[in-house]
């Protein structure tokens, strides 16, 4: 007896995932409403994080990642339905982002290359799913390094007399390349409030964590003279208040009396680049919620 061959249809291809980000005043029923809405439209939740701030009914934060393959409506229609049916009931600040969309990241840098090259290396290896349409610097010394990665380099020099004009040109370059996120990879210029307003909670800065101690020039030299026992770094969103923005990530490494000033600098560079990379990674994965001067980070 010869059996009849049956064609088996391949399973539907994975249409990717999306993330639903919610922030609102805490009250009963939020998780149930969001989960029920996604379930009713065929969304399979693959990851969910939530947090409510202390003090009775505080502030509620939720990140839900779900598969798009089973949706009964296009993702654009899902957004409209959520806006009509769920968000108004809880007065939500919310958005849906598609996981397969690569954010466009513009990098600002001055002379130091350690944070810049680390980001470019992670991008080239596919560890950071982003697009880098350009790197802007107020010095020309890193042009060859950047262009070796195939990334456009823009040199926009600045003096105290030309700072306003140079910043406007930086903004224009970022707009023309449709940048979503700005990363200050040791960019040693202070951005104005007008600049920050164009990218609210979308400018990430990195600096050593000695502040407010050892501010200004040669912080590692003065830290060495004081015999510090830890070296750290802080990544935060830039605001009008210098180095006072909401903190995304921090880390430290221990040092000892055996370490030279050069050792401290080397340790500092290592922790700076790892902290900055994590901050960028968490931002593009929609893991960071900003509320006032603080952040909630779902790692």
Pairing of strands 59-67, 17-25: antiparallel
CATH T-level assignment (fold) for domain 17-98: Alpha-Beta Plaits (3.30.70)
Contact 205, 195 (CB under 8 A): no
Domain 104-297 grouped into CATH 3.40.50.170: yes
17-98 and 104-297, same CATH topology: no
- Show pLDDT as tens, one digit a residue, over the chain (299 residues): 344 443 434 434 447 999 999 999 999 999 999 999 999 999 999 999 999 987 666 999 999 999 999 999 999 999 999 999 999 999 999 999 999 999 999 999 999 999 999 999 999 999 999 999 999 999 999 999 999 999 999 999 999 999 999 999 999 999 999 999 999 999 999 999 999 999 999 999 999 887 667 777 788 888 899 999 999 999 999 998 877 899 999 999 999 999 999 999 999 999 999 999 999 999 999 999 999 999 999 99
Domain boundaries, given as residue ranges, for the chain: 17-98, 104-297
Residues 6+ apart with CB under 8 A from 28: none
Q: So what's the pLDDT on residue 28?
A: 93
Beta strands 294-297; 288-291: pairing state: antiparallel
Using the CB atoms, write b or e for 11-43: b if 16+ within 10 Å: eeeeeebbbbbbbbebeeebeebbbebbeebeb
Catalytic residue status for 72: no
Whole-structure pTM value: 0.92
Q: Which of 145, 243, 251, 263 is catalytic?
A: 243
Residue 222's pLDDT is 86
Residue 113: the pLDDT is 97
């Amino acid at each position: 007896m010869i059996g009849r061959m049956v064609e088996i249809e391949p399973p539907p291809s994975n249409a990717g995932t999306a993330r639903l980000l919610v922030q609102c005043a805490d009250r009963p029923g939020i998780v149930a409403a969001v989960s029920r809405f996604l379930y009713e439209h065929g969304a399979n939740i693959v990851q969910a994080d939530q947090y409510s701030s202390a003090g009775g009914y505080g502030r509620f934060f939720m990140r839900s990642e779900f598969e798009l393959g089973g949706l009964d409506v296009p993702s654009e229609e899902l957004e409209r339905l959520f806006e009509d049916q769920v968000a108004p009931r809880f007065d939500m600040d919310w958005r849906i982002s598609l996981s397969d969309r690569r954010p466009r990241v513009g990098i600002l840098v001055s002379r130091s290359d350690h944070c810049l090259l680390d980001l470019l290396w992670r991008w080239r290896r596919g560890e950071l799913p982003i697009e880098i349409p350009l790197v802007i610097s107020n010095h020309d010394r890193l042009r060859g390094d950047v262009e070796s990665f195939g990334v456009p380099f823009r040199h926009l020099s600045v003096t105290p007399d030309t700072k306003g004009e140079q910043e406007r040109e930086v903004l224009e370059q970022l707009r023309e390349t449709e940048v979503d996120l700005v990363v200050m990879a040791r960019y040693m210029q202070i951005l104005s409030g007008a600049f920050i307003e164009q990218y609210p909670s979308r400018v990430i800065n990195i600096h050593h964590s000695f502040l407010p101690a050892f501010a200004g020039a040669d912080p590692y030299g003065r830290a060495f003279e004081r015999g510090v026992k830890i070296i750290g770094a802080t990544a935060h969103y830039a605001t009008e208040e210098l180095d006072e923005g909401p903190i995304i990530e921090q880390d430290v490494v221990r040092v000892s009396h055996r370490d030279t000033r050069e050792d401290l600098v080397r340790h500092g560079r290592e922790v700076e680049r790892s902290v900055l990379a994590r901050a960028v990674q968490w931002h593009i994965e929609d893991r960071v919620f900003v509320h006032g001067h603080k952040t909630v980070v779902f790692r």
